[in-house]
Amino acid sequence: MIVRFSSLSDPLVSVIVPAFNAADTVRDTVISALHQTYRNLEVIIIDDGSTDQTRVVAARLVESDPRVRYLYKENGGVASARNRGIADAKGDFVATLDADDLWYPTKLERQVQRFEASGPETALVYAWCCWIDSSGNVTGSAPPMRLEGNIVAQMCLGNVVISGSNALIRREALVAAGGFDESLRSRGGQGCEDWKLYMQIAERHKIAMVPEYLIGYRVQPGSMSDDFEQMMRSRRLVEAEFASSHPELAVQFAHGEAILARSLALRAIDRGQIRDAIDLLTNQSRGRFVAGFASLMWLAAGSTRRALRWLRRNDRSPTAKFLPKSSDPANNFP
């Protein structure tokens, strides 16, 4: 069932920034939100029980711009922090922005424009993601997905939105979906809270996209997505909840699990964790269909990819930052 929404008129966008021990990165993250060309926004920093100087950095941001607010809560995980911010949000639209990621200045403007063009049935608009390192250098990018409309079947294959710092969502649809699932953490399955939410929204609404790289997703060792076993468990927990109501999508879910395993295996290779890569490729719940020779092929492909990334990174101009001083998007991407 497609739900229609009222028309837009310069809507307020609430930007939710969950932060846990993010003193080193949260300032740049919030500044990237405040420097949006779309000005009608509020930024809510949710301190999820930090023990570093996150509170101090956030206080300076609050003092510097009246659009910034700060809330503290006991540590409960990223889903609970996002939900706390959503509960306090005043906007008709909500965007979550992790405290180590960055936005290109036109990100929200392009997404609001896409909402205006796509019609009242649309509840979520996403764009494309670049990978950035700790210095903000662009190190790669996600494939440029162009899926729009009723795409719940395609989303069974994986999270086309890629990052929790990407989607702009109608608040009404987000609340109706129940927000981010906090129970995944207690079940040992953090990691796919955003994919689950986007799947729930896609079940009832249309999805639209902006064909531009507007999100800088920081990829670094030690992130939640580097816990490969937990990520696979998280996907399986979410899949189990959808499988009973969508038996017709069983093949897509199985294919999606294989895609995630392969993606994580390549990341494990990048980290030099060959044993983890083999385990991911041979211990899937749907069977060992990528075992043996196929596993060796994937390992070889991963090694090649790692070498090419090293060569590309060493050939990159040092000015290839995700957020350059100028507003020229040509400086922005690989």
Give bridge partners of residue 277 from the DSSP assignment: none
Residues 31 and 136 in one domain: yes
Q: Is residue 117 part of a domain?
A: yes
Q: How many helices (H) and strands (E) does the chain have?
A: 12, 9
Q: At 158, is the pLDDT very low, low, confident or very high (cuts 50, 70, 90)?
A: confident
Residue 137 has pLDDT above 80, yes or no: yes
Q: Is the confidence at residue 287, as pLDDT, over 60?
A: no
Structurally, the chain folds into a number of domains equal to 2
Query: What average pLDDT score do residues 75-103 get?
Result: 97
Show the DSSP H helices in the chain as ranges: 26-34, 54-64, 78-88, 107-118, 152-155, 171-176, 183-186, 193-204, 228-243, 250-270, 274-282, 293-314
**pLDDT in the model for residue 284:** 60
- Give percent of the chain above pLDDT 90: 60
* Residues paired with 47 in a beta bridge: 19, 72
Which domain, by its residues, includes 17?
13-221
Is pLDDT of 319 > 70? no
Is it the case that residue 291 has pLDDT exceeding 50?
A: no
Is the same domain home to 196 and 252? no
Residue 244 or residue 324, greater confidence: 244
pLDDT tens, position by position, 114-130: 999 999 999 999 999 99
Q: What would the two tokens of residue 156 be? A: 């069974």
Provide the pLDDT for residue 193.
96
- Tell which of 221, 255, 276 closes a domain: 221
Structure confidence at residue 288 as a pLDDT band (50, 70, 90): very low
Q: Confidence class of residue 333 from pLDDT cuts 50, 70 and 90?
A: very low
Instruction: Provide mean pLDDT across the span 84-90.
Output: 98
Find, among 167, 284, 271, the residue nearest to 223 by Cα: 271
Note whether residue 321 is domain-resident.
no
Same-domain pairing of 199 and 286 = no
Task: Give the chain's length.
Answer: 334
Please give the DSSP secondary-structure letter assigned to residue 12: -
CA 177, CA 60: separation in Å to the nearest integer? Answer: 34
Q: Which of the two residues, 241 and 294, has the higher pLDDT score?
A: 241
The number of C-alpha atoms within 13 Å of 253 and in the hemisphere containing its C-beta is 22
pLDDT mean over 102-117: 97
Please report whether residue 3 resides in a domain: no
Distance, in Å, from the CA atom of 191 to the CA atom of 280, rounded to the nearest integer, reads 16
